[in-house]
Structure formats: structure tokens, C-alpha cells
Structure 1
């Protein structure tokens, strides 16, 4: 199939990392918008695949190429993790910021690089996916960065711990004391308590430690190992942010994109909640693009799939998402 875009592979340095990136450009000389795509949680390669999870949704590559075919330049990049191509080149610089805010500094470095690469673009937009939406809405508040538009892609509307607590409460009503996430089953009450205790900075109870369904959480989150301490720090830093409160502070126009079959451990009404929070503050510059049959990576999902089955769907991300983003951007005057 003939390609209607061109793509350049590159590296940029930020926060002590060497980070693989890809700049996808339209074939024509004119570029409408320059768009930075901020990745979500977990380690992903430059296309948006997750080597450690053996998941290959390639949504970031799909979206970048679809948008380039519509006249926009898109910069996407990998996020640290095994098999992603990200390398540590300066341990001291890496430790300058904590794990969660570190992603915002990386995104700001990527914005600077994008401006250098595509100086002719008429405007700069930041699009953050999942956790990347939270980083994006925070940096979009910084007027000195000159961000002209912000796009939330499957972004959470709840605080981090509440994402898991609310999901477990919902599942417990349907399934009872033991809830089934597909790859694993847990005691609902203890699972919820794990997040409550992590939020409070308190140790796990003896009941949790004795529960065999909590073995993963006790081993990985409950110890005093450097990895566990860093993990708890990351979760509490993430949890301190209320996305609905923060998105209302974003001064530039905002588009919220959400799939109705999002079963990533969050809620498909996240989009509506984010939209309403921002719309209350800036009604004329807030828009929602909702796709009832699409999941977290904008693949078509049939009802009844487990979270794991939904997240594992392959195929190209639905082109209607890029169409909606492009159409919205082209209504704006940076």
C-alpha cells in the first residue's frame, strides 16, 4: 500500500536517558500542526508497543501516520523499559527528578526538539495517552511553553489509586468477594485496602500478607527494596494529582478523546468527566470526541471481553480518531 507520509527515526537526550523517537511528516511541504504524542504508563517502544507485556497495539505509530496523512507532523517517543531502546547515559541526571514528574521533563525536552524539527508548523499541540494525558494537562498549563492545544487520549479522570479502587468496587458488586481480572483473581476487600494503605504510606496488614491472592502486591510493593520504595513513591506522586481539577486550569483549547469500551482498569466515563470539568471553566474551547465501540488503544472491541482480552486486540487504530483530532485542530487559530 502506498504511504502518504514520510518518517524519520532519531534520538534525543533528556533526564539522563537517550530516547528513540520518530518524526512522521506529511508528504507535502506545508505542515499544519506539530503534535507531540506523550506515552502512557509502562515501558513502550517508539511505536507504542509494550515488549515486557508482550502487547503490540502500535497505536502511537498508527495515530502519527494517520495524522501525517492529514497534513500534520507528529513526534512520538519511547518510554524506559526492557526492549524499548531507551538507554541510561547519565545516572546522576536521571536521579535529578522523581519517577513520575520525570516524564514531564522528558516531554518538555521533546517539545523543544519538535519546535526545532518543524519550525514551519502553524501551531503546536500536545496529545497525551492514558498516564501521558496527566503529564500533558500539567505541562499545558505552563504558558511559557507556548502550547496551542491539548488532546487527552483515554486519559484518567480519577486520582491514581481511585482508578483501581472504583474499578474493584464495581467488579465486587457483580462478582462477589473474589474478583477476576482475567490473568489473576484477588480478594476484593484486600485489593482495595492495598491501594488505601499505599496512598496513606502505611504498611500492609497481616491479613493482606497472609492472603495468597495478594502475593504479587506484598512482594513487589510491600518490601523495603529500592524498587518497591520507588514504586510506592511513583504511585503516591501520581495519586496526588486530580485530573478533573487540573484540566480545568489548562488555558489552551482542549479535546478529550474517549472510547466507550475502555477496559484498561479505568472507566469509560473518564472522557465525560474530564470534558465536564474543563467545559465548566472554558465552555467555548472544550470538545469531546466519544467512540462507543472503541477500547483504550482505539481498536474496535466487542462487548463481554475481559480487560486483558480488550488490551490485547490488534489491528490498526480506528481512523475516525485521527479524523476527529485533525478536524478539531483545523478549527483552531493558534
Structure 2
């Protein structure tokens, strides 16, 4: 049943950052579940938009409000970057952990903050979107955090660099040696090889450096600046995690939510891969919610829409996603109370 909701704005302080955050709450009545939304890989504002890009999906705001209308309390927060409203307040603290791992510590702080703000609820769930799914499944493994349910939202099933390698291989089958990502074109062989070399911690070969289609990547990745070193470390740390292994270690019930038109680099079959990996071990507590017509941010996609066009769609997040999550959580609540 749909309820009225309200939102409380706050600042979440964690890992040396001050991050804009919003708590969406049902208006009146008891809270069913407390839910923390973990953001994906890019710098996003508190609603889930990406400043400086044409991507304004507002997924996190939409989903939080959908769930609050169904009686759940949802905490969402921005991820540091230009235009997000987030700021650094302690440089030393920011540098205490590598860039990739830092997001898990921020997620832990968000969980503690939600418990403080909403002390009474039926349970606590973590919902991670895209890269946030990887952090979420790692956080959910920590018994001391008391996570009662984990939701993977468009999460990857492949290791980080394999996402790019796999996508390039698939595109090369259709387009040939030069593949077109829309914003840029690259030599597929050199592009794939570059990721393999980064995984191994080796410098780019001379033929990659001499390839004009790889100029941007060489300048961005193959240099000794602090920014490049941090970026390389981030990619290697992310790549070291195999989501299909980690999701089998999550002790609480798991819901995998996937759109069939997801071509963002996290391919549509990633949901099935994650589901099958965990279902093989925990069939009774693993569920898949698959929506054949939805993209990475759960917007409906019409036939013939390119993946570049799908990425910048800004319509409302499909209400079926919030409904599926709420129904699943309500079912868990009933099991916990019986």
C-alpha cells in the first residue's frame, strides 16, 4: 500500500569526506526495513545524477522514494567529485585507505548512521548499484554490521577489467578491428591488451603507445602522475574482486535485480551469472528480479535504442523495481517473524 513519505537532509561524515545525504522515511507508522543505497563507480550527487555529464538518471532518489512510500526507511548519499556537493574535510583521513576500498568504509559509516537515525525496524538491508553491488556484498559478509538482506542492483558478475575486455570482444565480432563506443573509437586488439597489461602491472607496449586511437588511454593510464597511480591502483583493487565468488560468501538472503537492456559495461547476463553462482549454494535464500525492457538505471528502453542513448535516459525509474524489492523484503520480514 502506498504511503506518504518525508525526506531529511543531512551530511554524512566518513573517511575524511562530508557527503550530502538524504533519509527518506514513511510518514507515520512503523518502519518496515532500513535500507542503505550504495552508489556506483562514478561521482554522483545525492539523487544519483552525474554532474558534468549528460547522465541524469536520478535512480537513487526515485528508488528511495518508491521504497519509502511502501513503508521503508532509505538512506542515500553522494559520492565525492566535482559538482556533487561533497567535500574533503580531512586530507589525512582520506588517504588512509586506497580509493576502491574507501567506498566500503563509507558504506559502513552509512549503515551506522542509519541505525542511529532509525533505531527500530524489522531489519537492515544494503542495496548496492553497479560497483556499489561489489562493495555491498563485501559489507554484507561482516557479521558485526548486522546486515539482514543484500540487494544487487545492476551489479557486475565479472572482474572489473574483464567487463571491458568482454565488451570489446563482443563489439569486435560485429564491428571488426576498430570498435566505436560512440564517444571514441579504438583498436580492439590494443584496447584489450592494455587492460591485460594493467592487470599484470606492466607498462604499455610500444605498438599501443604508437596507436593514435589509444592516445587518450595512454596519457591517462600509462604515466607516473599521482592521479594516474591512484587510478591504476583503483582498477587493480577492483579487478582483484570476483563478484561471483564474493556473492556466495554473503550469509544473508540475496536479491539480484537486473535489466535486460543493460549494456553499460555491466551486461544483462551479469544478473543471471550472479544469481546462478549464489543459487547453487543457497537456493532457498537467493532470488532474481529480471526486467527484460529496462537498462542500467531501470528506465524502459524501446527497440532500436542504442546503448549510448539508453545511458542518458532521464525518465522516472520503473516502479516495478521498487515493488519487487519491497515485496521481497516483506516476504523476508514474514519469515523472520514466523
| 1:270-321 CA distance string (max 9 Å, x none) | 0000000010111100000000000000000123333321110111000000
Q: Which residue of 1 aligns with 2:78?
A: 78
- Counting only pairs closer than 5 Å after superposition, residues 92-171 of structure 1 correspond to structure 2 as 92-171=92-171
Relative to structure 2, which stretch is displaced further, 126-135 or 206-215? 206-215
**Cα pair 2:3 2:27 within 8 Å, conserved:** no
Cα RMSD over matched residues?
Answer: 1.1
Q: What is the aligned partner in structure 1 of residue 192 from structure 2? A: 192
Output the CA distance in 2 between the equivalents of 1:3 and 1:82.
35
Q: Secondary structure at the match of 1:53?
A: coil
The TM-score with structure 2 as length reference comes to 0.97
> What secondary structure is seen at the aligned counterpart in 2 of 1:112?
helix
Q: Which residue of 2 aligns with 1:319?
A: 319
Question: Equivalent residue for 2:276?
Answer: 276
* Alpha carbons 1:43, 1:52 under 8 Å: kept: no
Partner of 1:262: 262
SS of the counterpart of 1:332? helix
Structure 2: how far apart are the matches of 1:264 and 1:307?
A: 7
Q: How many residues align structurally?
A: 333
SS in 1 for 2:202: coil
Give 1:55 shift: 1.4
CA distance in 2, matches of 1:160, 1:179: 20
Q: Partners of 1:303 and 1:235 in 2: how far apart?
A: 33
Could you tell me which residue of structure 2 aligns to residue 304 of structure 1?
304
- 1:11-69 per-residue CA deviation (whole Å, 9 max, x = no partner) reads 02100001110000011231100000000001000000000323110000000000000
Per-residue CA distance 1:77-131 (angstroms, 9 max, x = gap): 0001100011000000111000000000000000000001111111000000000
Runs of 4+ in 1 over 6 A off after TM superposition: none
Partner of 1:89: 89
CA contact (8 A) 1:161 1:239 kept: yes
Q: Deviations over 1:198-237 (max 9, x none)?
A: 1000001111111111111011111111000000000000
Name structure 2 gaps, 5 residues minimum. none
Once residues 298 and 152 of structure 2 are traced to their aligned partners in structure 1, the CA distance between those partners, rounded to angstroms, is 13
Q: Is the 8 A contact 2:12 2:77 kept in 1?
A: no
What is the distance in 2 between the residues matched to 1:316 and 1:35? 20
SS in 2 for 1:126: strand
- Give the whole-Å Cα distance in 2 for the aligned partners of 1:245 and 1:7: 36
SS of residue in 2 equivalent to 1:51: coil
Q: Distance in 2 between matches of 1:10 and 1:184?
A: 39
Rounded to whole Å, the distance in 1 between the matches of 2:250 and 2:52 is: 34
Contact 2:3-2:71 within 8 A present in 1 as well: no
User: Structure 2 CA distance, aligned partners of 1:153 and 1:315?
Assistant: 18
Deviation at 1:3, TM superposition (A): 8.5
2:60, 2:76 within 8 Å by CA — same for their partners in 1? yes
Distance in 1 between the 2:314 and 2:188 partners? 30
TM-score, length basis structure 1: 0.98
